[in-house]
Every structure is written in C-alpha cells, then in structure tokens.
A and B are shown apart, each in its own frame.
Chain A
Amino acid sequence: MPNFTINGMSATVAEGTTILAAAKQIGIEIPHYCYHPRLSIAGNCRMCLVEVEKFPKLQIACNTVVTEGMVVRTDTAKVNKAVTGVLELMLINHPVDCPICDQAGECGLQNYYMKFGLHKSRFAIEDKVHKKKVQDIGGQIVLDAERCILCSRCVRFLREVTKTGELDFFQRGDHSEISIFPGRPLDNSYTGNLADICPVGALTSKDFRFKCRVWFLSGVESICPGCSTGCNIEAHFREDVLYRLKPRENEDVNESWMCDEGRLEYKKANENRLLAPALREGGRTVAAAWDAVLFTTAHRLRGSVEAHGSDSVAVIASPHSSNEELFLVRKLAAEVLKTENFGFTSRTPGPRSSDDFLIKADKNPNSRGAQLLGFSEEKFDRIVKAISGGKVQALLLFGNVLADFSDAEIGSLLSNVPFVAHVGTCAGAVSRAAHAVLPSSSFVERGGTFTNFAGRVQRFRAGFPPRGKAKNDIEILVGLASQLGAGWAFPGETAVFDALAAEVAPFAGMSYEALGSRGRLAGGSK
C-alpha cells in the first residue's frame, strides 16, 4: 500500500495502481484519451503527462505505477505546456467539422481544447491531411477517419472484449488511419460500444446519427428492458422522445458495455404507442375516458366472478412489468378477484439469440421477478388451454405480446373470451383484440425495479411523465382495485416496493436506498 503525494495531497492507494487511477480516486482529473479502465493500457496518446519528482522527463500517468513516497504534480507550467502541445499536435490534421459531428458536446477534443488548448491553429488548412469520411464499417458504426486521433481504444476493445479484431491501423506517419480490413465489416453484437469509447467523433452511432444534438438530451438511470441480463443503462431523452440508450457502469452486471440489440430497445418506447384509453363498442374501438374504461373493466371482471365463479376470470402478467407492478397484479388476482388463474410466460416472438457475454435468450427484463412473485409458466399454459376451451369469461392481459403466438393466433385465441382488458404500451394484435385498452407507460416513463436472470434486483427511474393520456401501471392497478372495492393506498412505486419487501420473502429487507446503484441479489439466488 504505497503512500504518495499528488499536487500536495498525500494518499494511500492499493499496490499496482497507476497514477491516473490513483488521482481519479482522490478527485484529481488527469486528461487522457487512450486510457480506458476496462481495456489494456496502450499509453500512446500522451495526454496524461505528469511531472514526477526525480524523473528527468514527464511521465504518462496511465502507465506509471504509484510507488512509495512518489511525489506527483499535475498542475505545473511544464505539464500544462506539454499537454497543450500534445493537444495541438492531435488537432493538426483534425477537420474541425464540429457543426456536423455528432460527438460535439461530449467530445474529448472539444472539452480538453477548452480546458488546455484555446490556441490558434498554426497549421494552414490546405496542408491538412485528408482521409476518408463517412464510412459505413458495419454494425451500428460510421467511421470518419479524419477525426480520429489514433488512440486505439476501439482496436483494443475489439481485440480484448469481443475478441473479433475487425479494426486496425493502416498507413504510416500522419497518413496512418484506422480502418477495417477490405470486405470484412464489423461483425459482432457489441459494435455500439465503439461509439461510446471513442473519445472523438471518429466512430459514431449510425442509429443516432443526426437525430439530436447531445446537449439537448437529459439522462436518467435505467435498466435495459431488452433481455434478462438487465444491463445498467442511461436513457437519453428530449421532452417525451427517447433518443438513445448508453451503458452505465455496473461491475456486477454489464461492466461498461451493452449489446447492439439492447441499444435499439428505445424505439419501442417511441413507436406505435397506445396513448388514449379506449373501449370496444359494437366492433369498433373508440377512445373513452379513463374512469369509463376502469369502470367497465372492473365491472366486467366482477360480473364474471359473480356469474361464473372465480375460475372464469384470468390474469396474464407480463415479464416486462416491474417487481412492484407484478406484486400488485398478483395482489389483484389473488386477493381482490380471488382467482387462482394468474400466470406469465417468458416466451416471446422473434429470434431468441444468446451468447456467453451479455445477451440472454430470455428477452424479458423481469422473468425472474415474476417467478419470485409466484407467477408460473404452467399456469399460463393452463390459462391458454382454458381460453381455447371457452372457459374464461374475462381476461386481464398485461404486455404487448402474448407468448410467442403470431398475430393471427392471438386474434383467434382472444376471440374466445367475451371480455379482454389490455394493459400495455404499444398497439398490436393484443390491443386490437381487446375490449378495453388501458395504455400504460414505457420503461422511461415510470419507476420500479427489475430482477435480472441472476436474481439481481435493480432500479430504473422515470425520466418523464407518461406520454399522452397513458398512465403509470401502478396507477392503473390501484384504480382498478379501487373500482373493484379494494381500498389500496399506494401513492407510488416506493410504497409498493416497501410493501413488497415486507410481504415477499426473497425481497425481504430491501428498500430503494439499499439497492443503491448496483442493485442487490434477491434471496434464494445463487
């Protein structure tokens, strides 16, 4: 445990810590481009030069290990001059096309230029070396070789994390540039991360390209709803439109990465949304007031319990619902409707690709939570059988899809039920077959927790209020329960989670504070 001094402050850090990492721990920022905590150290950008006593020359902080009694200074004129010089060299051939660059606003060159550079260019614009711009190199990435500062983060990422190695340096001197090998585009499921780790605008996202300037975006901590891995993400939105998802660091789940498939999950929160409650009247679905829809749904559910017994109603929960919502769904089914017919399925339509890193075959964020809360797939199968047999008079259905059934199958299956109430976010076969549509909110419009495949309970937060006339799922469930005569008092997801933690064994002792930013494993998980 060496003790060292940096800018006059002394600190003790773990053996083998580099100066850059040690400085970060005590809150001193050393500028850097090529260093990335999750990649090997290259030491080629030379931005992190610091002055170390008894060293004749400046040292790179990213690759100098702290030793006992080391005295480091990052704020001397010598360091400043060196850093400014390095920056000027990097900018010599930079096209300075910030107006059309998507990185602008979160660009390492812009930030450090404002901090250390602010110099006039001493290099005539005609003398700049031009390289190929706008190259589609596969995956989700667009490459602009001109903007590249050759830090090699992308090369190391593809070698060390995905182990595919599609990118490499070509040419020499100031003509050297990064590129793919001819005819072999990026071919892995994690290309989106290249745009994140690239400190400049060389590698940018094809999907996000020109959609929005980053300074307009607000971020909210969230969990990727794309599969049961539960990657920690930050959801970026402007007003009520979601623009992109970015990975958020969580050592226990996704480190700093996320998959390409997950990055496109945001589209489901934007497109094809159900925005107004509706009722089916005489074969046509017409918009109705929330009160009317809740009343009709409650009335039909209670009516069939009274007329045909509690077995005539069924509740199908969705593994896209949060633990809180699932808890309330179970409560509604078991305690208010007093039926045993509640189940869920983790089956989903579409490909169920998986790998041994972040992508799981279960494309639901909360299947494990549903299981822990007492929903089972066997019951789901039984309910489906009962529906086919015409035994279900009223069905309360959550989620936008129904297992892996095709649209036609969903239509013919639900036509056996006299009353289907659909709680979901997107229009589709289910909402078309429903007699009452209760639009709910997407994962950025509500807060709650998901339990990932490993049983880790992780929190996601609301970024903006539900779109249109849609409502929070918890509000819908509480409204439904109160129409059915149960006096629930759950003002928000916090109250529900506290009740859940008190009632359901695997969640015992949990609270939002206790979950923190990394989540907690539910009891009974490995």
Chain B
Amino acid sequence: MTIGVKKVARPRKMSFGESLYLIEIVKGLGVTIGHFLHNVAHNKDIPTIEYPEVRRTMPPRFRGCHRLMKRMDGTPRCVACYMCATACPAECITIVAGESPDATVEKYPVSFDIDMLRCVFCGQCVEACPCDAIRMDTGWYTPPDDSREKLIFKIERLLEK
C-alpha cells in the first residue's frame, strides 16, 4: 500500500512590493479607516445588539430556560417520575417526590431544582418527560446572578413562567 500524498496549496512567494511591507501596511490602514469612517457615518449599521435593553428574539425551537407546566387547577403537572433527572446528562435536576394530597395524582414533586449552572440545555429532559410537564420554550437563556444558590432554580420559579 502506498502512502497517499495530498498536495497542499502553499502560499505564493511575496513580491518585492509586498516584502517591503510599507505599501501593504498603508493598504491595511486604508481598510481599517474605511471601516472606521463608515461606522462613524452610519452609526446605526453597527450590528451590535445592546443586550440587556434589546434582546434577540429567539426562534421558536430555541431551547431556553426550563419551565414546569401546570394543571388546570394550578398544581404542577409533574408527577416526579424522575425521567428527566435520569435522562439528564449533566445531572442538574434534583427532585424530591412526595405523596400528593390529591389521591388521583398520588405523586408530586415536593421540590424540583434545576441547577442552571450545570445544565447544558440539551433538551433531553423535555424529550424524556411522559407528561409534557417540563418545557424549554421560555425563549430565555440563563439570566446572570450573583450567587450559585440563586441559579439553582426552585420549583416556584420554574412554575412561574
């Protein structure tokens, strides 16, 4: 078996003018000043999104922060089956299940914590949920906060949205 040799395009040799650098530097300065002047003149064309005030609208299938769905009576739709916690590759979901006062519901989440710092937003939890109780359609990415505790979203916060 012969070794396959692949021809790679090598950069061509520089011409004398290029090797002097000076002309090229002046060309480069031309490019940058072009951008500068354009941006000074057409300030509005700068593509920067001024983040906290202006937000990009996310496409409908964007996986953002989680929310928990509610039943008609306002109780969480979640039955604490741990499917999301099982599917989660980042192990960021912690559920404590309890006996529901409603006998037809039987099991409900006493606490349902999502550690947004660990979450990788893969959407596996949404796929795994047999009750359509967890969704990632808030269109919101993790908001910043100043402590780790605040970024562990509790059930109250997840039910809010």
Contacts and interface: CB of A to CB of B under 8 A. Distances in A.
Given A100-B79, A100-B107, A209 B99 contact: yes
Interface string B65-99: 00000000000000111110010000000000111
B118 to A, nearest CB: 16
Contacts of B79: 99-100
Contacts of B83: 99
Contacts of B103: 133-134
B130 interface: yes
B99 A99 contact: no
A213 interface: yes
A327 B1 CA distance: 69
A209 B50 CA distance: 51
A470 B130 CA distance: 41
Given A133-B106, A134-B103, A134-B106, A99 B98 contact: no
Nearest to B129: A99
B97 A99 contact: no
A215 interface: yes
B97 A215 contact: no
A100 B98 CA distance: 10
Contacts of A211: 97
B23 to A, nearest CB: 68
A210 interface: yes
A202 B158 CA distance: 33
A99 B81 contact: yes
Nearest to B99: A210
Contact of B130 (A99, A133, A213): A99
Interface string A94-132: 000111100010000000000000000000000000000
Interface residues of B, number: 14
Contacts, number: 32
A326 to B, nearest CB: 39
Given A99-B131, A133-B103, A134-B103, A210 B98 contact: yes
Nearest to B100: A100
Nearest to A144: B106
A412 B61 CA distance: 70
Contacts of A104: 81
A183 B121 CA distance: 52
B144 to A, nearest CB: 30
A211 B81 CA distance: 11
Contacts of A209: 99
A213 B86 contact: yes
A104 B130 CA distance: 14
Given A209-B99, A210-B97, A100 B86 contact: no
A98 B103 CA distance: 16
A210 B86 contact: no
A133 B80 CA distance: 18
Contact of B81 (A100, A133, A134, A216): A100
Given A100-B107, A133-B106, A210-B107, A215 B86 contact: yes
Nearest to A96: B130
A209 B98 CA distance: 9
A98 B86 CA distance: 14
Interface of B: 79-83, 86, 97-99, 103, 106-107, 130-131
Interface of A: 97-100, 104, 133-134, 209-211, 213, 215-216
11 contacts: A99-B83, A99-B131, A100-B80, A100-B106, A134-B103, A134-B106, A210-B80, A210-B99, A210-B107, A213-B82, A213-B86
